[in-house]
Homo-oligomer: A and B are copies of this chain.
Amino acid sequence: MQAVPEPHEGSDTRTVSAAERAALIAALRSVLPRDALLTEPEELRSYECDGLSMFRKAPLLVVLPHDVAQAQAVLRICRERRVPVVARGAGTGLSGGALPLDNGALLGLARFDRILDVDARNRTARVQPGVRNLAISEAVASLGLYYAPDPSSQIACSIGGNVAENSGGVHCLKYGLTVHNVLAVKLLTMDGELLTLGSQGLDAPGYDLLALVTGSEGLLGVIVEITVKLMPKPERAQVLMASFDDVETAGNAVAAIIGAGIIPAGLEMMDNPSIRAAEDFVHAGYPVEAAAILLCELDGSNEDVSEQVMQVRELLRASGATEVRTAQDEAERLRFWAGRKAAFPAVGRIAADYYCMDGTIPRRHLGRVLTRIAELGAEHGLRVANVFHAGDGNLHPLILYDASHAGELERAEALGARILELCVEVGGTITGEHGVGVEKIDQMCVQFAAPELAQFHALKHAFDPDGLLNPGKAVPTLHRCAEFGAMHVHHGELRFPDLPRF
């Protein structure tokens, strides 16, 4: 690891004078059509935040280029003038990765919305970053194909954002995260250089910059084209719903299924507060008395699914499920999933506000961690509903609070932080699929020791030496971590910095 001077947080904090802004606008006008540059306060307001709406800031200005050449020109102008750039897809991110900077340009990719090419024989599609996740599957449905990663926001979220956050979804247990479903990307570096990363081959020589860029949260470059893998639609999909008297037993059932060598297409858990909220909202037919339910989807050939359905039913019963139901038809299967997919908005109906967390843990700790989360909730005087990708050990605790009550937002944030730190303590991570953004930047100090963080900065420096791309996000400075660590050591809450790694 090289001794790069640690990036001062300069680029995201320096102020821009009115004259500088005027000159920047003039420069951008010279390379962009009228409709590609927004500068009026009311135009900027709709870009104040992404899906993490507790953080808001109006950008210095917004650029909406139509093509790569325009995006290149924008980056070169900003680089020249040392103006930070924040890229934005559909703005559905949940960790504030697209939160604007008041001294920086917001680069919206909404107009990169074309599917450029579909190669049915090789089962690949070449698309622009602004294409919606679900639009890809819709476009290739007639070919019997689909794009596997399915974040809950798939109706709205863009594939470019999916790559930037390495998004997951219900089906990632079997089909992998975004990084496993992308073959290549075209990336603009901060100086406007266009890089082609990855290939359609089995493996690409050279360093794996494709994997490096996937999940890099807009800190290394701006993605302008993506080649995704397409999957053949399985012959059949079937879902089982199992009820449990307590969460810990449900957690152990998950371990039993995976331990048997079965890889469900999806294996989701909901606890009682989530079950009640969802049932009340969409009437999915959930057992409202259950402490927890598991939804287990199996897909593949008819024979294979039939066999696995029997096998999983047995495993669930043996693991202590009080009831196991198999969807009787496609309508019921979709109803079972409708409850899960509506869980977040459903919880939104029972609380003024909620804060959606995202951490991962080794599956074997599921029961223990859920119990501890409940305790932490009580300690902070807040309710927590759990809806999550149990098969992946990817938790999504929803912290219920009311921002209009003084101090509740702060308590929710504190509880969220403790939950993420708990994930690290048991050998997990502070994010499964939502990214770090601004939300979890302090928890990165818990996740990583100084040498890894220093290497991250050296690597960022290799792509963006001036630290102009999405500054202040995803990777904390060592200085920030030193303060955070010191604070924690002082409180003695955390076994920091010598947490068990794994």
Given contacts A195-B452, A203-B215, whether A1 and B189 have CB atoms under 8 Å apart is yes
Q: Closest CB of chain B to A464's CB: distance in Å?
A: 8
Docked-complex contact A168 and B458, CB < 8 angstroms: no
Whether A5 is near chain B, meaning CB under 8 Å from some CB there, is: no
- Please, how many angstroms separate the alpha-carbon atoms of A237 and B200 in the complex? 29
Interface flag for A261 (CB, 8 Å): yes
Q: Which of A241-249, A318-326, A425-433 contacts B (4 or more CB under 8 A)?
A: A425-433
A455 / chain B contacts, CB cutoff of 8 Å: 189, 193, 195, 209, 462-463
Indicate with 1 or 0, residue by residue over A443-472, a CB within 8 angstroms of chain B CB atoms. Answer: 010011101110110111111110000000
Quick check: A475 and B191 within 8 Å, CB to CB? no
User: Cβ of B200 and Cβ of A428 under 8 Å apart?
Assistant: yes
The B-contacting residues of A in range 362-379, CB under 8 angstroms, are 362-364
- Which residues in B have their C-beta under 8 angstroms from that of A191? 1
Q: Is A303 on the interface with B (CB-CB < 8 A)? A: yes
Beta-carbon nearest neighbor of A428 in chain B: B201
Could you jot down 8 A-B contacts, CB within 8 Å? A172-B202, A193-B451, A201-B423, A202-B393, A203-B394, A206-B444, A207-B459, A458-B462
What residue of chain B has the Cβ atom nearest to residue A165's Cβ?
B203
- Interchain CB contact under 8 A, B2 and A205: no
CB-defined contacts of A297 to chain B, threshold 8 Å = none
Stoichiometry, as copies per complex, reads 2
- Knowing A191-B1, A300-B304, A304-B300 touch, does A202 contact B452 (C-beta < 8 A)? no
A255 CB-CB contact with B under 8 Å: yes
Interface-lining segment among A62-70, A176-184, A330-338:
A176-184
Q: Which of A220, A423, A462, A464 gathers most chain B CB within 10 Å?
A: A462
B459–A360 contact, CB under 8 A? Answer: no
Q: Tell me, yes or no, whether A114 is within 8 Å of chain B by CB.
A: no
Is there contact, CB below 8 Å, between A208 and B212? yes
Distance from A189 Cβ to chain B, minimum over Cβ atoms (Å): 5
Whether B452 and A203, one on each chain, are in contact in the complex, defined by CB atoms closer than 8 angstroms, is: no
Query: Cβ of A462 and Cβ of B459 under 8 Å apart?
Result: yes
Interface centre among A166, A197, A261 (most CB of B within 10 A): A261
Instruction: Output the least CB separation between A457 and chain B (Å).
Output: 9
Known contacts A1-B189, A172-B202, A205-B435, then 20 further A-B pairs from the complex at CB < 8 Å, ordered by chain A residue: A1-B191, A121-B259, A177-B202, A189-B455, A193-B451, A195-B452, A199-B428, A200-B428, A200-B502, A203-B394, A203-B431, A203-B432, A204-B429, A205-B430, A205-B440, A206-B436, A207-B220, A208-B211, A208-B214, A462-B462
Are A205 and B447 in contact (CB-based, < 8 A)?
Answer: yes
Size class of the A contact interface (CB-based, 8 Å): 35 or more
Q: Cα distance A179–B207 when bound, in Å?
A: 12
Q: Is A277 at the interface (CB under 8 A from chain B)?
A: no
**A177 closest partner in B (C-beta):** B203
Q: Which 3 A-B pairs have the closest CB atoms?
A: A211-B211, A232-B261, A201-B360
* Residue of B206, B208, B475 touching A447 (CB-CB under 8 A): B206
Residues of B contacting A440 in the complex (Cβ-Cβ under 8 angstroms): 205
Instruction: Identify which of B189, B364, B462, B502 contacts A184 (C-beta below 8 A).
Output: B502
Residues of B within 8 A of A361 (CB): 201
Q: How far apart sit A308 and B211, CA to CA, in the bound complex (Å)?
A: 33
A125 to chain B, nearest CB (A): 13
Is A227 positioned at the interface, with any CB of B under 8 Å from its CB? yes
Is there a chain B Cβ closer than 8 Å to A474's Cβ?
Answer: yes
CA distance A375 to B140 in the complex (A): 38
Q: Which of B168, B259, B307, B463 contacts A203 (CB 8 A)?
A: B168
**Residues of B with C-beta under 8 A to A46:** none
Q: Does residue A194 face the partner (Cβ distance < 8 Å to B)?
A: yes
Is A142 part of the binding interface, using a Cβ–Cβ cutoff of 8 Å? no
Measured between beta carbons, the chain B residues less than 8 angstroms from A201 are 360-362, 393, 423, 427-429, 432
In the complex, A50 has a CB within 8 A of chain B: no
Residue A501 lies at the interface, judged by CB distance under 8 Å to chain B: yes
- Decide if A392 is an interface residue (CB 8 Å cutoff): yes
In contact, A199 and B458 (Cβ under 8 angstroms)? no
Is there contact, CB below 8 Å, between B205 and A501?
no
Between A195, A206, A428, A460, the greatest number of chain B beta carbons within 10 A of the residue's beta carbon is seen for A206
| CB of A38 to closest CB in B, whole Å | 29
Contact with B along A212-227 (1 / 0, CB 8 A): 1011100010000001
- Asked if A502 and B227 sit within 8 Å, CB to CB, the answer is yes
